[in-house]
A and B are shown apart, each in its own frame.
Chain A
Amino acid sequence: MRMLNFTAVLLALSSAFLLYGLNYDTRLIEAKLHAREREAERARADIAVLRAERAHLARPERIEPLAREMGLEPLSARHLLPGTWSDITTSSTAK
């Protein structure tokens, strides 16, 4: 009986210590997690800005004059050879 008591007390004590340690670790991990989350949040914010900037730079209004300066022009029927159309439409991004 005393043996049982002793082990029970021991068990209670050790689990208390274990719990304390676990709790401490958890807080540490949590802090790390928050740091990571903040990092991810910052990265997401940066990505959003970069995406917006990229879209702004790639807006058709700006690309068109640049493309024309390079000698490009809108595709028209006279650029196409008979029978080539289906090849283009099935392989390109159209739709």
Chain B
Amino acid sequence: MLGMILERIGMALGTMVFISVVCFSGLELMPGDACTIHLGRGASDSALANCRDRIGLDRPATTRFAEWSVNLVRGDLGVSAQRGKPITQIVKWRLRNTLILATVAALIGIPLALFLGVVSGLSRDGPADVSISSIAIFGMTVPEFISGTLMILIFSVTLNWATGIVLASYRAPALELLRASILPAATLTFILAAHILRMVRASIIEILQSEFVLMARLKGVPRRQIIWRHVVPNALLPAISVIGLTIAWLLGGVVIVESVFNYPGLGRLAVDAVADQDLPLVQAIALLFGAIYILVNLCSDLLAMALNPRLRSLRG
């Protein structure tokens, strides 16, 4: 058991090392470097040399990689090419803001999805299921920026319930951001819940058809007891790893939702950094998102292992 946990953690660390190597060498292999892109094609040789000297690009790649990764472990993400500030400083607040947004969405979205998924699965093809499923399929199919824009159109422009565009600064206190994040969080919640509830629904339906449920029914166990003692617990177990994957997958959606609502988070920073061609910053954000993905997946795997004894002995 302990061995498997350690192995899983080791795997996560290995992946982390791998993606940092990829992020670093990926940029090395590309034509041009941070300085040529930052200064443009017409830059003079002396300006280029100056810039390379400033961010240390004139040394061999291996030296730079060693230094970069040591700094990374110490929490130093390097210096932004465009903003002239340490990336850690730039990223710190935005990471907090993105985590606020994602946490709110997950805290509301997951219980909601579990509940609606169970309701939908139990009333398969009934009116409740059809309406829940249609909305969920819409949420899963349509891109995030359309769901977000629709949210603004409905709740801000038409109903005037909440402000559509976030005006809070990136250093605003957490509470202010929490208030500002109603619509972006609602959009993320909607998409997250749509994905998870479809999974829960499928798994409820599968279990309802299993032999042990038939057996319980034949024994005359009351329906309520069958559902709460046999069906729901067994259906929710596989949902845990799906939730992990969905949250991780949702990170991509965060980038778009933040841009739609002008939310001062990591995703919008990434978009700005691409527009400014600030390579080191884009690289650092990609790495951070990768790290969050790996961490979320690790947690959900460990949680699934803790709750489901079958996973502890099965390998693979």
A binds B: no
* Interfacial residues, chain B to chain A (CB-CB below 8 A): none
